[in-house]
Amino acid sequence: MDFLNAIVALLNFVIIPAAAYGAQLALGALGATLVYGVLRFSNFALGDTMAFGTAITILGTWWLQSHGVSFGILPTALLALPFGIAVTAALALATDRVVYRYYRQVRAKPVIVVIASMGVMFVMSGITRFVIGVEEIRFVDGTKFVIEANSFKQATGLAEGLALRSTQLLTMVTAALVVAALFWFLNSTRTGKSMRAYSDNEDLALLSGINPERVVAITWIIASALAVIAGTLYGLDKAYKAFNYFSLLLPIFAAAVVGGLGNPLGAIAGGFLVAFSEVGVTYAWKKVAGYVMPEGLAPDGLLQILSTDYKFSVSFAILILVLLFKPTGIFKGKAV
């Protein structure tokens, strides 16, 4: 019984939240790694692209709701996603046209493009705040729980409750579907192959007749779609606030770098690694240890390695360790 309690507590407070968070990070990191792979720069505007796309999706959700449309037990926001993706992709393509294309033509150094992307970031965050404001917005509807803590306790007779929010389950399922579709696209379609070819060796790809502008445009569209999906899932699971997406930039890049920049598989592994480290390091293990350890040996302290205030420092630490000891990441990406 005690062992079961320990497992349930672990699931409830560590594994489920970290898995949902990891899936959100993985989607964001995929967007970062794709842009890095094809366009060869770290896109600092990613966080604010997520914020912008989510804002548009929220507007679409409100519009649908005002017309009495709902998605049954699922959040209405999922129906508004295509609209959010279309607008965000259009914005990304326009930005590429106005800003990045010039730097590609003059073959500017990556660091210059990175700084340009910071400028884009400021403009985008301004636009987002004009569109939807700075307040916290909760736009989730539909069924809230798949498993509810109190009814779980009553049903099983365990001391620990287990809660699984529908948004957490939805996040993991959607992430799995999107990742599967992306890999199929990259590995099996002609366009996907041309993207990988362009990413591996630009000059050779050009020689074999691949149209670079088309590859770039498709990359932006896919990266925008990933960003909007990740941003909307994050907003559904937690709450929407423009500034929070800016703070997501650090764990997302940590995930992409840990996995190996430019490597899609690495981005996914990196996302989960960062999420589980953040939650695991800041979790107080006292309760779980109390169930598992024999009587009398249960600890008095909290067994918390790091206070939750320092959650973001975990991403920093991972980033520094990887850059020091394995700059190419776990799954051989490009060295930074």
Q: Which residues bind another protein (CB under 8 A)?
A: 12-14, 17, 21, 145, 148-150, 152-153, 161-163, 165, 234, 238-239, 241, 243-244, 247, 278-279, 282-288, 302-304, 307-309, 311
Measured from the CB atom, the residue of 127 and 284 that comes closer to another protein is 284
Measured from the CB atom, the residue of 8 and 120 that comes closer to another protein is 8
Looking up tokens 């051989």 gives 332
Q: Which of 304, 313, 249 is nearest to 278 (CA)?
A: 313
Shortest distance, CB of residue 126 to another protein, whole angstroms?
Answer: 19
Measured from the CB atom, the residue of 110 and 161 that comes closer to another protein is 161
For residue 36, give Cα distances in angstroms to 64, 71, 200, 219: 35, 36, 12, 10
For residue 177, give Cα distances in angstroms to 86, 173, 183, 222: 19, 6, 10, 14
Measured from the CB atom, the residue of 43 and 168 that comes closer to another protein is 168
In this structure, which amino acid lies at residue 125?
A: S
- Express the helix, strand and coil content of the chain in percent, nearest 5 each: 75, 5, 25
Shortest distance, CB of residue 237 to another protein, whole angstroms?
Answer: 8
Measured from the CB atom, the residue of 9 and 205 that comes closer to another protein is 9
Say if CB 333 and CB 266 are below 8 A apart. yes
Shortest distance, CB of residue 73 to another protein, whole angstroms?
Answer: 17
Strand-pair partners of 137:
240
Shortest distance, CB of residue 9 to another protein, whole angstroms?
Answer: 8
Task: Tell how far CA 30 is from the center of its chain.
Answer: 8
Residues in the chain: 336
Say if CB 260 and CB 266 are below 8 A apart. yes
Measured from the CB atom, the residue of 187 and 304 that comes closer to another protein is 304
Shortest distance, CB of residue 161 to another protein, whole angstroms?
Answer: 3
Shortest distance, CB of residue 31 to another protein, whole angstroms?
Answer: 19
